[in-house]
Amino acid sequence: MEMPRVAAALALALSLIFVSMAGQCSGQLQFGFYNGKCRDRNGFQRDVEDIVKQKVKARFSTDTTIVAALLRMQFHDCFVNGCDASILLDVPNGEKTAPPNLSVRGYDFIEEIKTEIENTCPGVVSCADIIVMATRDAVSESRTGWYPVQTGRRDGRVSSAQNVKLPSPSIPVPQAIAAFNSKRLSTIDMVYLLGGHSVGVAHCGLFQNRLYDFKNTGNPDPTMNTTLLKTLQTLCPQNSNSNNSANLDQDPLKSSSVDKSFFEQIRLGNGILEVDQQLALDSNTRFSVARIAGSNDFSFQFGRAMIKLGAVDVKTGKDGEIRRRCAAVNSPSGNSGRNIFNIFG
């Protein structure tokens, strides 16, 4: 089958599946919500999703790491107060200031997209929807299948560091499952979403505890592949404050694309983060990991999980607003935030 036909079939199948799931969303999200709603100053209709797509395409051509950055941003936004772009707000003691978010980046890029859309059809498109659309398009640029996203979210007005409670890189799998379940995401949703770790890097501080004195045993984590262990010990010497990083997907040919390679690698003991490695070992998830590693439908299922993530506790109607600037509540002022990157919470 020709690739365009495959892509079309995938998009149609996903659309049909998620139209049937609309009742599970918080509020009334829609596929194609912005169709016909954006007209430029000359009265011509503009395709909002195409504007976002072209901006992402241009950014990806010079910075492939934007895929991991946006995946992380969407996760961190949706897991705290729902998918409402509250992570973007520059307010005292806002979500940006919480330790897990100090290394999130991409704020400037979302603001860049927002500015272009505001210059075309002001007051129409939410920052929350821009995050979800841009993340989808970045994933697609990384050679992963395209998936449709529902839109119609409004932006939240509240952003507090105290609300930021994200799963840590060393969280036990059962606790991770409980955290995802609390957001109405199933265990298999969680497994696929953690497949987002097929792109991006982790710095030494997030896994160094596994290399020398794992859980106060005086020995390295026994679940780690010995070849990988030696490599990481060289990269991150004991008792050092090295800021070196390692690819989360240890297949060098696939570490820049969102694909099933991550699951193949953790089955070989090549998980960098403790939670990633435990996915392949825990009785709750190991069979799913094995199935995904041997499957041909990763892109479809990953897209399905991302759409469910994008529907977590969204705000619609009077519950939110359409910001003029993503960094500020109903204000044209504000800056676009930090631009540094790490991975996970």
Whole-number pLDDT of residue 4? 41
CATH number of 3-166+313-319: 1.10.520.10
Nearest-angstrom CA–CA distance, 56 and 333: 24
The DSSP H or E segment spanning 134 is helix 127-141
Minimum mean pLDDT among 12-26, 34-48, 64-78, 102-116: which range?
Answer: 12-26
Catalytic choice (72, 76, 260, 267): 76
Q: Tokens for 101, please give them.
A: 């978010």
Please say whether the beta carbons of 180 and 189 come within 8 A. Answer: yes
Nearest-angstrom CA–CA distance, 141 and 94: 31
CA 99 to chain CA centroid, Å, is 18
> Within 10 Å of residue 264's Cβ, how many Cβ atoms?
21
Contacts of 127 (CB under 8 A, 6+ apart): 85, 88, 110, 114, 155, 323, 326
For residue range 199-240, list pLDDT tens digits in order. Answer: 999 999 999 999 999 999 999 999 999 999 999 999 999 988
At 85, the amino acid letter reads: A
Nearest-angstrom CA–CA distance, 153 and 269: 40
203 has catalytic annotation: no
pLDDT band at 343 (very low <50, low <70, confident <90, very high): very low
Nearest-angstrom CA–CA distance, 234 and 230: 6
Minimum mean pLDDT among 122-126, 182-186, 252-256: which range?
Answer: 252-256
Q: Domain residues of the chain, as ranges? A: 3-166+313-319, 173-302
CATH class of domain segment(s) 173-302 = mainly alpha
Whole-number pLDDT of residue 12? 46
